Amino acid sequence: MSYSSLSLAGLTIAITASRRANELAYLVTAAGGTPYIASTVGVDKSPTVSKDAEMFVNKVLKDGIDYAVFMTGPGVYSLLTAVENLGMKQQLADALKRVIVVARSSKPKVALFNQGIKTDIVPDNNTVEGIAELLKGRGIAGKRIAILWHGSSFPTLTSDLRKAAAEVLEFSSYTYSPQLSQSGAKILEKMGFNYVYPDEEKVVSLIEDINKGGLVNAILFTSPPSASGLFKVAAAHGREEKLRRDINKDIIVVAVGPSTKKELEEHGVRVDVIPVVYKMGSMVKALTDYVDQNGKDAKHGKGQDIIKKKD
């Protein structure tokens, strides 16, 4: 796709990502827009990750599992690095060859591949609800399911699986944070991400510019934590309600996929655009399509996803 043929000229596009903010800014610039980077989420490695990883792997090896669900690429890297340092990487890799491996998206799938681990399933609907339905549809009563979470967990997934009579084993190697810690930065650096450090002052400035009106035209969210991170900062400064109102009134909201859309909706934000393919390039293309259909200075059809969603 040639982004130079797209037109976001005259528009300022807020970018809340951290891991791939610069890549997204490049796409926005190539399409003629002005990127406004205010990263809202970082990664903080768990201080007990080695101990927790050892306990997790020992349970997997001792009791066995039927499914392994990997929610995120950095989580894959962090877990495998921890078990490698413990001398248990090959044991875990061998165990995963005997189970059904589910990767929430292409990112953990690639991370697993880079560690020599094959993925069996990548769900079309990669929300926690979609993953739960996929697993329950396979008949999981009496099955043991290991879930490697991203920086936050969703109790609804584990409760749904347990209600279906499955046994669930959970592990998380890092948490999401308003800051990008040194340990978290190392995780992302090793994975090849050219990240932008979260900066609360920049996020506050973005919130103020949204409140003023006319300074920001659209805002891009690439993950659920990027959405929740923005509203955590707003709440800490007593601006949450005004931010919600001003975004819904004046800003074109773009979510990369259904999980991010759901998170925004839980914060009272109506999403305008969601791409057919849940990737950054498709986000920018979907935004330009929205602008072409609605005009650069008008916000028609607020709350309607005019870009057809993936079934």
Same fold, 3-41+198-294 and 45-177: yes
121 phi and psi angles, rounded to 5 deg = -140, 135
pLDDT at 42 over 90: no
Q: What angle do CA 75, 258, 147 make, to 5 degrees?
A: 30
- Contact 273/254 with Cβ under 8 angstroms? yes
Residue 311 — pLDDT band, cuts 50, 70, 90? very low
The dotted CATH code for 45-177 is 3.40.50.10090
pLDDT at 265: 95
pLDDT at 29 over 90: yes
Residue 287 — pLDDT band, cuts 50, 70, 90? very high
Segment holding 149, helix H or strand E? none
- Per-domain boundaries in the chain: 3-41+198-294, 45-177
pLDDT at 174 over 50: yes
- Contact 304/272 with Cβ under 8 angstroms? yes
Higher confidence at residue 52 or residue 250? 250
Residues near 139 by beta carbon (within 8 Å), at least 6 away in sequence: none
Two tokens, residue 93: 């890799």
Q: Which CATH architecture has domain 3-41+198-294?
A: 3-Layer(aba) Sandwich (3.40)
pLDDT digits (tens, 9 = 90+) for 98-135: 999 999 888 889 889 988 899 999 998 888 888 999 99
Residue 49 — pLDDT band, cuts 50, 70, 90? low
Mean pLDDT over each residue of the chain, to the nearest integer: 81
Q: Name the nearest CA neighbour of 200 among 177, 225, 174.
A: 177
Cα(202)–Cα(216) distance, rounded to whole angstroms? 14
Model pTM above 0.85: no
